[in-house]
Structure 1
Amino acid sequence: MINKKAILKMTTGATAAAMMAMPISANADAHMKPGSGTTIDMARASWDTGWWQAEVYSQLLQELGYDVSRITTLDNPPFYQSVAQGDVDLWVNGWFPLHNSYEDAFSQGAEKIGYVAKGGALQGYLIDKKTAEEHDINYVEDLTKDDIQKLFDANGDGKADLVACPPGWGCETVITHHFEAYGWDDDFNAIKAGYSASMADALGRYENGQPIFFYTWTPNWTVGELPPGEDVVWLQMKETKLPEDQADLADATTVEGLEGCRGEQPCDLGWPANDIRPVANSDFLENNPAAAELLKQVSIPIGDIFDQNAQMNDGADSPEDLKQQASTWIEDNRDQVDKWLKAAREAAQM
């Protein structure tokens, strides 16, 4: 008859002996690098103002021992589909409520976790300050007047040219909704080419004394290059009309004391403020408690993102620049970073 208790005792004893025989340095390394041996398939958004944040998180994950050998650039639709299916593990470029249209992913294997930046991501429409003051333009609706449209018509089609967002971006979906909801098709021409190139063209027109009309978000290099209140102004919306997936946020589109806003405060931008959040595959989070805890812990001040975006716009935008900027930020914030890493390592021991 097999003595199960004896076998269990022998097995337990052997395991204990093996653990006793393991070098102390190996135990220490396993604690410091709980992600050792695990490769993370990380993505980043197609807008380059989010690439630095992705690099910061990548380097922190590597400090935990994870292999993050490459980061794949994806538009919103393929990312949310891929992360739900487990083909991609995570990114840190989720914008909510802007990305609410991808909520199906969160019932199919993905989840939001932690905050890169909470509540500080603004969006809206802007024009140059000179034209706003000369023609008393306070609202986007003011630009639908025929004589005002002509001021912003760079291609001669009779419509005001608006630098919008490329297809696949969450803001492109909302802007398309605005065109339908407000009936802007006869008034505005939405430029949906590459955003950075389109904004560079608008900046060139501005420097030549021509009016400009564009959408932007914060943090973004555009508001560093064209500071609201100095070079450009935020325009308000007389009526808020959001897509169905954001309809419950119609009362959350005002910002009190917004610098550079035309008209009376609070400033109604017509867009709710966003949280920038990591999004990860649920199975990945369950199997990697250290990574999950790190995603919960880390946050980056909006001001620091502005500063990096300004460096990038000044030409420091190569992959090597991004890596250096991320490692410099990590070392400049080493005390806080070490607390985040400590919490992640402890989560792996539970």
Structure 2
Amino acid sequence: MTIPLSLPVQAQDNACGTDRKIDIAEMTWPSAAALARIHATILEQGFGCNVEIVSGDTVPTSSSMLSRGTPAIAPELWTSSIEEPWAKGVADGKVVKLGDAITDGTVEGWFIPAYVAAEHPELKSVDDVVARPDLFPDPEDTSKGRLYSCPPGWTCEIATEAEYKAYGMQDTWNLFSPGSGGSLDASISRAFLRTEPILFYYWGPTAILGKYDAVQLDMGAVDKEGYACNTNADCDKPPVKTAYPSSPAIIGAASWIPEEAPNVAAYLAKAGLSNAEISKLLVYGDENQADAEATAENFLKTEQDTWTKWVSPEIAEKVIASLS
């Protein structure tokens, strides 16, 4: 399935370097979808490329890039789940990493509101918080604290339950299943809007972490072997305390992009955003119920100090003109 862009191709003053169609994978999660639309607009309107948005997801997109060289670009490819085939594809010259989509890596762990951390500066780590269930009372059982877990059915649900056990929280804390991602977001939003204490699992970049000032708790170093066991429901070893590893999220491309369109490759090599910057752009989509295209357009209009550094003044001028 392909989704044609609504904006016309500007063929004049073509800085693209190739007449070949550049198809960009629009992944199924909000940040990747918005990034796909941002890059599509800049490449089409600024560079004069022939651009097409195509539906994508991590495994099918990477498999197609490795075998057929299409789609040409994956703007936010999480390579942790495809580590071996991707590394082989790079070694074989089939695909390349042009840059980091998320410059400081993904975020995953346990959080508390900044207002709680300010009132209780001694709460730096999970160990610190575990010792104070009274500060995070379960509204249905105030004799214990409440930890809001990962949504059911996700791998992080298994990992969070394992950590809960590894920290010995069973006697003094309740592990609460939110029922869904939307319910977890609603519980977090309600707590922040009421300035109430809450201990919750979350990840980023996301609109929630862009909207609310949350503090990630120290969980120590990453124990790769322990984390692998923590995420495996069939692991027969005891769960261990470990930080959640940061997953690399790259701008991946078929190898023909730097060969045939070096200007495009050079642009994408600069086009990374931090967790905070991506979370900020997602807040607009969340608060305005905007789709990926509208979210991308808002970013291009309001964050010109950021993205214009990725391109020449001439290309930036063309993109800005197209927005109006």
Q: TM-score range by the shorter chain?
A: 0.5 to 0.7
Which residue is equivalent to 1:107? Answer: 87
**1:236 paired to 2:218:** yes
Distance in 2 of aligned mates of 1:224 and 1:319: 17
TM-superposed deviation, 1:40? 0.8
Shift of the 210–119 alpha-carbon distance from structure 1 to 2, 3 Å rule, reads: closer
Aligned-pair distance for 1:278?
Answer: 0.6
Distance 1:226 1:331, change over 3 A: closer
Instruction: Spell out, residue by residue over 1:98-117, the C-alpha distance to the aligned partner (whole angstroms, 9 max, x if none).
Output: x4342113234344221334
Q: In the alignment, is the contact (CA less than 8 A) between 1:167 and 1:192 conserved in 2? A: no
Unaligned runs of 5+ in 2: 1-10, 90-94, 229-241, 316-324
- Cα distance per residue 1:31-71 (max 9 Å; x no partner): 5343434141413252x234332221121222434443334
| Counterpart selection for 2:26 from 43, 57, 69 | 43
Pick one of 90, 103, 124 that aligns with 1:118: 103
1:4 corresponding residue in structure 2: none
Aligned pair in 2 of structure 1 residues 185, 32: CA closer, same or farther (>3 Å)? farther
TM-score by structure 1 length? Answer: 0.60
Normalized per residue, which structure has more helix? 1
Distance 1:31 1:134, change over 3 A: closer
Structure with the greater alpha carbon radius of gyration: 1
Counterpart code for 2:83: E
Distance change >3 Å, CA 161–CA 115, structure 1 → 2: same
Q: Which runs of 5+ in 1 are unaligned?
A: 1-27, 248-268, 343-350
Secondary structure at the counterpart of residue 92 of structure 1: strand
**TM-score, normalised relative to structure 2:** 0.64
CA 292–131 in structure 1, closer or farther in 2 if over 3 Å, else same: closer
Q: Provide closer, same or farther for how the CA distance between residues 241 and 334 of structure 1 changes in structure 2, counting only shifts above 3 A.
A: closer
Which amino acid letter does the alignment assign opposite residue 99 of structure 2? G
Cα 1:334/1:77, change in 2 over 3 Å: closer
- Tell me by how many angstroms 1:159 deviates: 7.7
2:209 equivalent in structure 1? 223
Output aligned runs, 1:1-350, within 5 Å: 29=12, 31-46=14-29, 48-63=30-45, 64-74=47-57, 76-86=58-68, 88-95=71-78, 99-109=79-89, 110-119=95-104, 121-128=106-113, 133=119, 137-142=123-128, 144=130, 147-148=133-134, 151-152=137-138, 160-164=146-150, 175=160, 178=163, 189=175, 191=177, 194-208=180-194, 210-228=196-214, 233-237=215-219, 239-244=220-225, 270-271=243-244, 276-282=249-255, 286=259, 288-300=261-273, 304-315=277-288, 317-328=290-301, 336-339=309-312
Tell me the amino acid that sits aligned with residue 102 of structure 1.
Answer: I
Provide the aligned C-alpha RMSD in A: 4.5
Residue identity over aligned pairs, in percent, reads: 18
CA distance 1:159–1:324, shift in 2 (3 Å):
same
State the number of aligned residues. Answer: 283
Structure 2 counterpart of 1:60, which letter? I
